[in-house]
Amino acid sequence: MQFYSTNGKAPMADLRKAVVKGLAEDKGLYMPQEIKTLPKAFFDNIQDMSFRDIAYNVASAFFGEDVDGDALYDIVADTLSFDCPVVKVNDNIYSLELFHGPTLAFKDVGARFMARLLRYFLCSQNADKEQTVNVLVATSGDTGSAVANGFLGVDGIHVYVLYPKGKVSPIQECQFTTLGQNITAIEVDGVFDDCQALVKSAFMDEDLNKALRLTSANSINVARFLPQAFYYFNAYAQMKKKGLADNLVVCVPSGNFGNICAGLFAKRMGLPIKRFIAANNANSVFYEFLQTGEYLPRPSVQTIANAMDVGDPSNFARIFDLYGHSHAAIVKDISGTTFSDEQIAETINDVFSHTGYLCDPHGACGYRALEEGLDADEVGVFLETAHPAKFKQTVDAIIEGDVEIPAPLAAFMQGKKESVPMSKDFADFKQFLLKA
């Protein structure tokens, strides 16, 4: 499969290049040249298939030409070592729980798949002169933990997670500073933008690129975003088994819009989802685009659903491209909502007291959008993108309770924190990498 750039000024790339490079030369995002429709027989039988088999069929459509079939099956099976169940919350609203992976958030799926696909490409290169590949990732919290855990223990790859000192929550920090092995956490004396600047400078630095193999595990990478389509198909299968899949509305709490973009790809592959809702917090650039047709990015504002604090969603370019740059086509498939922190808190409280189901601040946006926007004949599924314990302080205060910390998260918190202190000066970071 060939991949083109959304900016249209870079040469086509094969899968290997798209995965290793991440971003095209013209700074555009890679798009697959073709989106295959899956056959009717697949949809007829989907409710009786395992998650792995469903995912393998979806993966084959994108990666089957470039990855050996058995290897692809193993990559899929190894990625999906946990479930993504659909759970009933209220009359016609269901939660697709994407937080049963190692870091309790949906990003585990993409990060794990990408680590294994990258490893596959490295192995199939000339194995005799194998050189470690160094993955650099800047994080404000959630991405670092998903990438670090996704790549943990994968041979031939070393991950450097750069994070701003004192700016990530203790729960987030322990998920990438306690791992050891092939993961190095770097605590930068600065803010998130400084971390991102260090990573960008490293990719552009000639000496570093001569001495080391460097790559990024950014969320715009096709190997991270496309595998997210797996669980949309699996959610449909679960709803079909319940006899509830005829008028399905899927609502996705969105920040950089990679997750919903994977769902839109699934629909393009033939998955019978009637329509999508993109739920935003106060960062409502996409919501406004839907209303006005104008895309006006601006700096993000801080909210209690902070993984969605994005003022210029990177995957907007993919969605715009997928719909042929047509606002009219986009609004046929997607509607939007925007909620304030007060509304998010109120929703967490209401849902918990009326149903006993505890949403995290991101999932709460998804629930509320369905509650306000479903027609009587529709059934809604919202993506519960993280476990509420990941946002324990916020959620505890809202429900005046004490959210139980699941065992995997508690295990991280028991670990010993190890990180390398670093200034925000690129020369220091460069020295460190060259000596590592």
Ligand X SMILES: *Cc1c(COP(=O)(O)O)cnc(C)c1O
Q: Are 110 and 116 in contact (CB under 8 A)?
A: no
Tokens found for residue 205: 């630095």
Q: Which residue, 134 or 283, has its beta carbon nearer to ligand X?
A: 283
Q: Which residue, 371 or 384, has its beta carbon nearer to ligand X?
A: 384
C-alpha to C-alpha distance for 323 and 318, rounded to whole angstroms: 9
Tokens found for residue 304: 């209690």
- Smallest gap, in angstroms, from Cβ of residue 223 to ligand X? 14
Instruction: Work out whether 28 is an interface residue with ligand X (CB under 6 A).
Output: no
Instruction: Work out whether 344 is an interface residue with ligand X (CB under 6 A).
Output: no
Q: Which residue, 134 or 338, has its beta carbon nearer to ligand X?
A: 338
Q: How many CB atoms lie within 10 A of CB 240?
A: 18
Instruction: Work out whether 175 is an interface residue with ligand X (CB under 6 A).
Output: no
Instruction: Work out whether 386 is an interface residue with ligand X (CB under 6 A).
Output: yes
Site string for ligand X, 129-168 (x = CB under 6 A): -------------x--------------------------
- By CB under 6 A, name the one of 134, 216, 385, 394 that touches ligand X: 385
186 closest CA partner among 429, 406, 435 = 429
- By CB under 6 A, name the one of 105, 202, 249, 379 that touches ligand X: 105
- Smallest gap, in angstroms, from Cβ of residue 390 to ligand X? 7
Instruction: Work out whether 307 is an interface residue with ligand X (CB under 6 A).
Output: yes
Where do runs of H (alpha helix) occur along 242-360? 258-268, 285-292, 316-322, 327-333, 341-355
Q: Which residue, 359 or 433, has its beta carbon nearer to ligand X?
A: 359
Tokens found for residue 155: 């041979």
Q: Which residue, 71 or 399, has its beta carbon nearer to ligand X?
A: 399
Segment near ligand X (CB under 6 A), from 75-83, 253-261, 349-357, 420-428? 253-261
Q: Which residues contact 273 (CB under 8 A, 6 or more apart)?
A: 232, 236, 248, 249, 250, 263, 266, 267
Q: Which residues contact 107 (CB under 8 A, 6 or more apart)?
A: 142, 143, 146, 147, 219, 224
C-alpha to C-alpha distance for 176 and 168, rounded to whole angstroms: 11
Q: Are 25 and 10 in contact (CB under 8 A)?
A: yes
Site string for ligand X, 255-294 (x = CB under 6 A): xxxxx-----------------------------------
- Smallest gap, in angstroms, from Cβ of residue 386 to ligand X? 3
Q: Give the footprint of ligand X on this chain (CB under 6 A).
A: 105, 107, 142, 253-259, 307-308, 362, 385-386
